[in-house]
Structures are given as structure tokens and as C-alpha cells.
Amino acid sequence: MLEVKNLGIHFGGNHAVQDVTASIEAGKITAIIGPNGAGKSTFFNLISGFYQPTSGSIQFLGQDITRLPTHDVVARGIARTFQTTTIYRELSVLDNAMIGHRVRTRAGLWDALLRTGRERHDEEESRAGGMAALERVGLAAQAGLPAGALTQEGQKRVGIAMALSSDPKLLLLDEPAAGMNPEETVNLMALIRELVVGGLSVVLVEHKMSLVMGLADEILVMHHGQKIAEGTPAQVSRDPAVIEAYLGSHAHGGQMGQATNGDAPAPGAVQLTKESKHA
Amino acid sequence: MKGWMWWVAVFALAALVPLFGPSGYVLDIGVNIMIYAILAYGLNVLLGYTGQLPLAHAGFFGIGAYATGILTLKLGWSFWLAWPVAVAISALAGLLLGLVAFRTKGDTFAIFTLGVGVIIMLVINKWDALTGGNDGLNGIMPPAGLEALSKSVGLKLSGGFYYLALISLALTVIAVARARGSVFGRSLIAIRGGDDLARSAGIDVYSHKLRAMMLSTAIAGFAGGLYATYLGFLGSAATGPIQTFTILLYLLVGGLGTLAGPLLGPALMYTLAQNLKGLQDYQYIVFGPLLVLLIMFAPQGIAGLWMRLTARRTPPPAAPPTQKEASRAGS
């Protein structure tokens, strides 16, 4: 559904993402992993139209979206959430969701001033779309609360609802489990699975290996801005290049520890597997 | 009491004022407060709702005022035609500024527009042939028929102007309330929360900012036209940054991003300024500490303070769930 060809971006002389070619399949959960600074988030920002690539192309459902502004990308059906709980904390949960539905409505300033039929129709549509999204993430009962009053997990769900109310085909989640405890992480994984069963395709960037290994159908591994491996969790965790990347970064004080128990891992015994419960 | 009922009550009371035969001085203060309030409503659209600080606001007030003055004086247009045209010119000028200025963000936007505000004032001050330059524009007539209409209901012209300003203010409040409560307005609030978040939520940030700017400058021009015909004389001083900062102060005192704030601020501050006129420049010794206290204890202005007090007095209908319960119910 999403085809990325030779995608690259550089900031000054720093090639944050370089020559990445990949394809994201519909109806699956694809995880993008890699050590810190591997270019995962930048790659995300490229797909969602947040950054303009300096080379390469992005095709979504057969259409070129490489140079489209973000709101057009959202209109085509790609929605995203942010690493932190970036939502409108002072607004109600429902208002947050309704903001995400804006891209499906057309009422403008004149409609507002003259209270046209389109304004009334779009307002009702926004409310319905927002509520539907809240029901999908299980927040319908909290619709009237200020979003900032919810827990971390609740706020993450608000962020996902905001993305869902734009009626996307592909959902991009940037570190959805960051700052969550294990119980919350399990809840979130269940939610993501439900969404995919409902017909959505999901791409996520994540550090928590338990989540990635337990959830992803496909994994794409990045290192130094380049794609170094691609495949099922089982394939990827055996890939020598992947093990090398993680060990290498660990040796330089990297963050391999996230996937291990904190014990110095013996070469070849990298716990990139489901059994790693300590992430 | 519902929100709109307050508004009806306030406007009904304000409409009664001329019937008690007040002095011309009281009516003059009323008209000035209303003109400043309209101007503050315009600023609130961009600053309070969209989160952008435009420091050229008085420039658009000037464009509306001078357009009205020039069209009526030099081209002999009726005020009733010149006024809406002046509003359209102000909106168009706002669009032109926005097309360039919204390439910048945050502080840069404020500084850029401050520069433009200074330029607008200088152009008005130096373009002698069009604006009368330093001498200003003299002899702008009251709206045709206003005096006759006032007399027919037993009022003086000042009473007629009072009602004209009151109707203009009511129209402005309705327009701003509708814009704020709409699908469009919710998108402005989203932009206030951050460009990047709004953008990724699918909002066309640039086009929404442009339209907010046009609404804001159109309202400024609307106030300007009223000011021109009311005063009958225009000078460039009223179109500069000092005027912008005065409006900004009024809006901060009243309450940024609220519907009542742009009216409360001018009502309080303009009245206060009139009473302190005898102090001349020393009046700022009163204003300065007042502003400091306000920012310290009521950062949301009078309207925000009022909402906080009433929220404390009236308990919510049902106890809101605690954070834990809320999340559990949600999971």
C-alpha cells in the first residue's frame, strides 16, 4: 500500500535517512526498529509529509505523495501520532477527536459567519466522527473530560482517536508505548490488534522489544539512516547485520540494554525475542 | 443563566442608557469603549483563538478609518457604502500581509508584523496627497440620515452614534461568537495549541491562519470606519504601534481568548484612563503596577478570574472520575 523508493533526506551534511527502499503491506502491523539516531522518526516524518525528502519518492495506493503538504497526506488516508502525549490537554477529549475530523469537512469562515447548512452539517458530522473514533479507542465515556485529566495511557488513546477520526487507511504510531507501564502496554497492544482486525494498516516506531516482537507482522530495521534488514520478527532477530548493529551500538554506550536484562549479553545471544519481558 | 442570556441582558441595559438623558460626556465614553471593544475583538480572533500575535492591528484600524475618510471626503461616497468597502479593503490588506507574514512563526511573526505596523503608520503620515499627512483628514461627515433619524426619536446626534456603535458591537460579538463556535473556529484553537500538531491532525494551517487574519483585520477596519465618521477627524497617531499595544493591554486585562474579555477590558481601562487624565503621563504609574498585579494573579484577565470564581462556587453536577477511574473505564 505504501511504496518508498530510494528515500533520503539530509540536514546540512547529516544524512538522517539515506536511500531507503521499502514497501508497507496493507492489513499488517509493520514495526520500524533500530538504535537511537537510526533515523526511524525522521523516516516517519518523511512518510507523513512532515518533512520534504531531498531524494526518492513515496507512493501511497498507487499515487505519488512525495511532495504533498501534511494535511493533504492526511486527506489521502495517512494519519499519525507523536512520540510524547501530544494532544490538546486543555480541550475536552471529544474536541480533540473532532479536530482530527476537520480534514473530512469543508465548512469555512463564511459558513461559520452565516451559519449555513454546510456548517450545521459539518458540525454534526464532526461530532459523530469524533464520537466514533472515541468508541474505537474506548474513551466514549470520557468524551466530556478535559484531555489533560486522563492518565498517560488515556492521553495516548486520545492521540490515537485524533488520528482515527480523520478516517485513515494507514496509521503511523511514533513510540506508542513510551512512558507506559507493562499493564498499560498490554492494553495498548490489544487496541492496536483490534484496529488492524477492523481493516486498518499500522506502522509503528518502538523501542520496547516486547511490544515489537509480540505485535509486528513485519519488521524493518534501520541503522545510520539506512535500512539494514526486513522480515518477520523471527527472521530479523537472527539477522547478523541486526545483531551487529545492536551490539555495536551497545559497545559504544548505545541502548542495547533495552532489549536485554541488563546483563552483558554473550555474542549471538541477543534477546531480540518474545521472551524478553523486561523492556 | 446561560451565556447568551447574559449578553442579551448586557446589551439591553446598554441600550437603555441614552433614554435617561445622560451628558454628552457619558455617551462619548460609551462610544469610545465600544469602538475599542470592536478593535479588541478583532485582535482576539488572531491572538486569543489562533495564538498568533499580530502587532500591526492598529494599522488595519487606520486602513479602515482612512479608507472611509478618503472615500467619503475625496470621492463623495455615502458613508453607508464607504464603510463596507473599507472593511473589504482592510480584509484584503490583511490577506496580503498574511501571505507573507505567515511564512514566519511565533516571535518572528510578531516582530515582522510590528515592522509592517510601523510602515503602515509612516505611509499614512507621509502620503500627503492621499491622507493629508501630518495635518490629517478633516471634516468627515456623520453618516447620512443618522442625525435626522436620531431627532425623529427625540435623541441628539450623539445618541444616534451611541446606538450605531452598539449595533456594530453586537454584530461583531455575533460574528466572533459564530466563528469561534464553528468547525472553522475549532481548527483555529487547534492551531493555537501548536502548528505541528494541527498540521499532523490534518488541518491546513496556512489557509486557516490567512482566513483568521482576514476576519481580524476586517473587524479592525470595521472599527476604523466607525471611528472616522464619529470623530470627523483622522490623524496618523491612532494607527501606530502605541495604539496596537493599548488594545493589547485592554485585551489582556479583559481576558485573552474569551468572548467577554474584549468588552470588559476596554470598559474598565478606558474609563480608568479617562478618570486619570489629570495625571497626564503619570497615569502609567497606576497602569504599570496594575498590569503586573493582573499578570500575577489573573493571567486570564477579568473574564478568566470570573470563570474561576464561578467554577469554584457551583459544584459540578456529578463528581468527575479520578484519574485512575477514568483510565480504567477507558481501557
Contact yes or no for A144/A92 (Cβ under 8 A)? yes
Neighbours of A254 (CB within 10 A): 16
Give contacts of A166 with chain B, Cβ < 8 Å: 201-202
Distant-in-sequence, close-in-space partners of A4: CB < 8 Å, separation ≥ 6: A20, A21, A22, A23, A24, A47, A56, A57, A58, A59
Phi, psi (deg, nearest 5) at residue A221: -105, 130
Task: Find which of A44, A45, A65, A70 to mutate to test the B interface (most B CBs within 10 Å of its CB).
Answer: A70
Residue B262 confidence (pLDDT) above 70: yes
C-alpha cell at B65: 478609518
Q: Minimal Cα distance from A48: which residue of B?
A: B200
pLDDT of residue B66: 97
Please tell us whether the domain made up of A77-200 is placed in CATH 3.40.50.300: yes
C-alpha cell at B330: 477507558
Tell me whether A103 touches chain B (CB under 8 Å).
yes
Closest CA to A279 of A167, A185, A190, A140: A185
Give the whole-angstrom CA distance, residue B291 versus residue B195: 29
For chain A, state the CA radius of gyration. Answer: 20
Contact yes or no for B175/B44 (Cβ under 8 A)? no
C-alpha cell at B89: 479593503
The four Cα atoms B293, B294, B296, B297 give a dihedral, to 10 degrees, of 100
DSSP H/E element including B114: helix B106-126
pTM equals 0.88
Helices B205-231/B183-192 angle, 10° precision? 100
Task: Find which of A71, A164, A181, A191 to mutate to test the B interface (most B CBs within 10 Å of its CB).
Answer: A71
Contact yes or no for A204/A172 (Cβ under 8 A)? yes
Tell me whether A201 touches chain B (CB under 8 Å).
no
CB contact under 8 A, A99 and B323: no
DSSP H/E element including A57: strand A55-60
The four Cα atoms B140, B144, B147, B149 give a dihedral, to 10 degrees, of -160
Per-residue pLDDT tens digits for B185-229? 999 999 999 999 999 999 999 999 999 999 999 999 999 999 999
Distant-in-sequence, close-in-space partners of B3: CB < 8 Å, separation ≥ 6: B259
pLDDT tens per residue across all 279 residues of chain A: 999 999 999 988 888 899 999 999 999 999 999 888 888 889 989 999 899 999 999 999 999 999 999 999 999 999 999 887 789 999 999 999 999 999 999 999 999 999 999 999 999 999 999 999 999 999 999 999 999 999 888 999 999 999 999 999 999 999 988 888 889 999 999 999 999 999 999 999 988 888 888 899 999 999 989 999 899 998 988 888 888 887 665 544 444 434 444 344 444 444 454 444 443
Q: What is the ipTM of this complex?
A: 0.84
